[in-house]
Copies of this chain bind each other. A is one copy, B any other.
Amino acid sequence: MASDEADVLIIGAGLSGLIAARTVLAAGFTPLILEADTRVGGRILTEDLAGLPMELGAQWIGDTHHRMFALAAELGVETYQQYDEGETSYELAGTGILRGNEFHDRFDDELAELETVLRRLDELSAEVSPATPWTAPHAAEWDAITAGAWYDTQGLSPVARTLLEICTVGILAVPTVEVSFLHLLFTIQTCGVTAELFAESEGGAQTTRFVGGTAEIPQRLAALVTDHLVFDAPVQLIEHGTDSVTAHCRGGRTARGRRVIVALSPMLAGRIMYDPPLSGYRDQLTQRMPNSAAMKAFFVYDEPFWRAEGLNGQLISDIGPARMSNDTCIEGDGHGVILLFLEGEQARTHAHWSEADRREALTTELVRHFGDRAARPLHYIDGEWGNRQWTRGCYNANCGPLVWTTYGPALAEPIGPIHWASTDTATQWSAYMEGAVEAGERAAGEVIAALT
């Protein structure tokens, strides 16, 4: 059992908190992680489905996720490539279903329009520093409009506008009118360029998977700090002095330390009581970074039958309950696995449905794209994040108009002995696992410097 005295308290055993704990420990200080849930991983969650690991949360890393590749190697978690052969199945703007080559032929002009906008986004995002987006030359202007409003001014055809919305919502997990244009540019810039962010697989953020499931990463990290980790400890109050903190958990447990790292999304961090209370400046930020809405739904078949048809298992659609899908077969296993993404509006709507109804609606969609065999899965599982008490939304925290320019500096700035982590505070691949590692290391570094 962990001692309730430590040098550094860490709130949350997501990837960011675990990395912070390991880093603190390696520097010779004692961490204590207080986790509200009964598991580690936060927005990483692998569930067993008939012996197969299903990634209800974070699943992939991309070629530039150097911290994650290093971490996987260090922990002995092997990786494999995302399957990416064959054609995508499209249905957009009432065209009926078209295979990739047909779609590209028919909508060559529209795809060129889209490409022009993506290049423009790359150019504009290059002006945004991901550590200080509020300092961009046009920050005030870009933060006063929504990303959706900017998209609407680009003179796009319906097909190009719809594709742009689908690929952006695939990142933000909210409609583009809910976030500021500056926030979109920040998001692109933290990830490099749009090509890395939006690409479904090759070269993008979703190229590589983990043998045994993504949760291997937090679980093996947790094993390294297992003596410094307590579960079922939702923190309700953090009392803090110049060089002391006391965390009070539901149920009466208290823990004391010299510093605390709050490794929760900003909104969840804002739900903790602080004594003395934090400034309105910090507090108002946490009122304005809501978590987005995403669901993942997995169908497991006896084999990946779509591959024989020359399909890659990806669909892109502007009708039906899911906008995108993926072939997420597991290396070394013969089953076919299709993953459908419900993001933003689709996740919000279908979170209210029964699982049976969601499954039925998604099955209908899959049959339309991949044929009758899609109607006969062996297994189904889905997962929604807004209903999870200790997460309350995925993938990330988004900023509406004026949040970055008004409150941005409050996001990661320590307050006395309180430091902030979670991927939402990262400057590279914010909202990804890569960002969680950066944030955990950065917060731990601040604490180690303060205690040394």
B145 touches A401 (CB 8 A): no
* B384 near A175: Cβ-Cβ < 8 Å: no
How many residues of A sit at the interface, in one of the four size bands?
Answer: 35 or more
Closest chain B residue, CB of each to CB of A36:
B273
Partner of A402, one of B177, B236, B291: B177
- In A220-250, which residues have CB < 8 Å from any B CB? 234, 236-237, 248, 250
Complex CA–CA separation, A146 to B234 (angstroms): 37
- Interface flags, A247-272, vs B, CB<8A=1, else 0: 01010100000000000000100110
In contact, A392 and B271 (Cβ under 8 angstroms): no
Q: Judge whether B250 and A236 touch: CB under 8 Å.
A: yes
Query: A402 — which chain B residues lie within 8 A by C-beta?
Result: 174-175, 177-178
Chain B residue with minimal CB distance to A179? B401
CB neighbours (8 Å) of A144 from chain B are: 148, 175, 177
Q: A273-B234, A400-B400 are in contact. Are A387 and B280 (CB under 8 A)?
A: yes
Quick check: A386 and B280 within 8 Å, CB to CB? Answer: yes
Binding site for B on A (CB under 8 A): 144-146, 148-149, 174-175, 177-178, 234, 236-237, 248, 250, 252, 267, 270-271, 273, 277, 279-281, 283-284, 287-288, 290-291, 293, 345, 348, 351-352, 384-389, 392-393, 400-402, 406
> Can you list 21 A-B contacts (CB < 8 A)?
A144-B175, A145-B146, A146-B146, A146-B401, A175-B401, A178-B402, A236-B236, A236-B250, A236-B273, A252-B252, A267-B287, A279-B387, A280-B351, A280-B384, A281-B348, A281-B351, A283-B387, A283-B392, A284-B386, A287-B393, A288-B290
